Structure 1
């Protein structure tokens, strides 16, 4: 299937009534993931407290709209589909932002893991590359899109440190063990 057509295929036969879509989203079970998503029977990672939170607001035309975050260093970005997906490519897209956040977070986790192992020097020049792929799920009965993420670590050959970073990184935990997600309406 041609990439542009794949990303922009019509939503025929899908729920389009806004009220029905909202009700369906709100009726999703919280903290419940299919067992095949949980890895070794683990449960969703809950939080007993929080030390920081980030808030972002999307407005406008979704993937062609605006997203902004307030806080210590406010950020406002114009969003756009990549050219390959039929957009003008004149803005950022959620997959770019996810890749940036994950690679940065994993690098921090890698540095912490190396430091805890008294081998901080092993990651002095390390880099983490994240590739985020958006595509259709293999399951033909699953609607929408899915993600595949590939991380590559440069400058660190220690598997134990890389594995420790993967276990510590909140992005890795969210993707492998689930996250506590609440969808609320205002």
Structure 2
């Protein structure tokens, strides 16, 4: 498979360790959230997933509107993504995602169509489809 882009990140020490990308741009400590009994004070995998999904989804919205009458620019969209860790029946855990999307300058109906189209092309949406519940709310301003 031809990759358009590929990156590599090394994690050491699990949820209380460190992460570092192969180019060194991402280089930080991790900490178990206080809500899970940890010390907090550093990022965690759920925050990183929420950040990546929000940024990627914003770009998917911009992508699907290129060449249309409803073109969305960088400053026209805001995505807030909440990632929750939920226990499952097997004694493990699953993720739940709530995504709040706000798009400026278009009608509610068009915004909802754009968000649906973005879910079809966003790599994160495609990766988790059928495995993680994603509740999406769409707003206009």
Q: Which runs of 5+ in 1 are unaligned?
A: 1-47, 179-186
Aligned match of 1:154 in 90, 102, 106? 102
Aligned match of 1:126 in 74, 77, 80? 77
Q: Which runs of 5+ in 2 are unaligned?
A: 132-141
Cα drift, residue 75 of structure 1: 1.2
Aligned residues: CA RMSD:
1.8
Counterpart position of 2:123: 170
Count of residues paired in the alignment: 126
Report the secondary structure of 1:102's partner residue.
Answer: helix
Larger Rg: 1
TM-score under structure 2 length normalisation: 0.81
Counterpart position of 1:143: 91
Which has the bigger relative contact order, CA under 8 A and spacing at least 6?
A: 1
Higher strand share: 2
Counterpart position of 1:68: 20
- Tell me the distance in 1 between the aligned counterparts of 2:27 and 2:128: 26
Q: Report if the CA contact (8 A) 2:62-2:72 is conserved.
A: no
